[in-house]
Amino acid sequence: MKIGMIGFRGIPHTYSGNEEFVRQLAPRLAERGHDVTVYCRSNLFTDRTPIYQGVHRVFLPTIEHKSGGMFIHATLAVTAALRHGLDIIYIHTLPSAPHSLLPWLFRKPVIVNMDGFEWQRDKWGMIGKTYFKLARNIALVVADEIVNDCEVLRQYYLKNFGRDSAFIPYGAELESSRAPAVIRKWGLKPDAYYLIASRLVPENNADKIINAYRRIATDRLLVIAGSANYSSPWLDRIRAEAGERIRFIGHVSDPGDVIELHCSCHAYIHGHSVGGTNPSLVKALGCGNCIAAFSSAFNREVLTGPDGTLYGELFADEDELVRILQQFEDEPRVVESYRARAWSRVREAYTWEQVTDGYEAVFRAVHERRRRRPGA
């Protein structure tokens, strides 16, 4: 199949889990014989080689803006995709979902990944939240297939809109430390810090994690890897109030460095409260982390096996997180037990090969349905 993938900064890029997703999925689809094109933001790349690991790269301009950048780029990308004779147009996440109207109008097959409750994110004002609800409704009407990355979201759309969807989560690779000296660049030592690795937006709860960390008895640091791509008074405030034992190291662009930060931390703290299966949580499992995660339905789904086995601790509030982190300090066996079984959860449900199987099956099903239509 000829497959176009839209809604990303590009490949390879490291800003968020979306970019990790396309970096893992697109080359695997190409290895299986598909003709895959990823539409990239030209202003983010100095190397514009047209092929990356068997994947075609088409570079199109945009502006770098919190809300406008992706919209403009997706408009250009969908317009280009319609000229490229694709069998499948895949649109990733709600910011780009309204562009599914164009393939629908031109009777081209389009698949949309809904990617969580974007309209609930605190960083968006009323206009933004209204836009995402409209994007959701457009995709529900015009997409040949919608994809959700967790069962909770699948049930939400089925119950509230009568629309079933394909459930395909994000994936992770099984990682171990290969260059432990890397963390010295930030003045860190193995097992001497807790890690947050996320975009620094309010719904990821870095402020609440910092407050809980301050209340435990520990010599370990709290290391925060991540940034926001827009001006944020909330982020300015928590930076100003953080203190010397809390280190903001910014966005880490090298995937190998991210792995080393995970593999050398005492425990990973995951505060995401909005969204589906979060790529950084699955990555933490793949790196063999001991995990404390906010007790959302999405995080519970990832950290609870089909037999009820827990693969991390879940906290509903600051007090619970204090108790969990102090337990991680006082009971090393608890930390080691979570580390020892993290990989088994990835093998069970979150390998990239399983993810690729899922997307390939959805793309084939939509392609075959389209071919069977009268006049196709």
Three-state secondary structure readout of the chain? CEEEEECCCCCCCCCCHHHHHHHHHHHHHHHCCCEEEEEEEHHHCCCCCCEECCEEEEEECCCCCCCHHHHHHHHHHHHHHHHCCCCEEEEECHHHHHHHHHHHHCCCCEEEECCCCHHHCCCCCHHHHHHHHHHHHHHHHHCCEEEECCHHHHHHHHHHHCCCCEECCCCECCCCCCCHHHHHHHCCCCCCEEEEECCCCHHHCHHHHHHHHHCCCCCCEEEEECCCCCCCHHHHHHHHHCCCCEEEEECCCCHHHHHHHHHHCCEEEECCCCCCCCHHHHHHHHCCCCEEEECCHHHHHHHECCCCCECCEEECCHHHHHHHHHHHHHCHHHHHHHHHHHHHHHHHHCEHHHHHHHHHHHHHHHHHHHHHCCCC
Report domain 2-171+352-372's class.
Answer: alpha beta
Task: Work out the pLDDT band at 104, boundaries 50, 70, 90.
Answer: very high
Q: What is the pTM of this model?
A: 0.91
Domain 2-171+352-372 and domain 180-349 have a common topology: yes
Position 97 pLDDT exceeds 60: yes
pLDDT per position as a tens digit, 141-173 = 999 999 999 999 999 999 999 999 999 999 999
Position 376 pLDDT exceeds 80: no
Q: Where are the domains of the chain?
A: 2-171+352-372, 180-349
Position 280 pLDDT exceeds 80: yes
CATH number assigned to the domain covering 180-349: 3.40.50.2000
pLDDT per position as a tens digit, 61-82 = 987 766 677 889 999 999 999 9
The per-residue pLDDT of the chain, averaged, comes to 93
Which pLDDT value is given to residue 15?
76
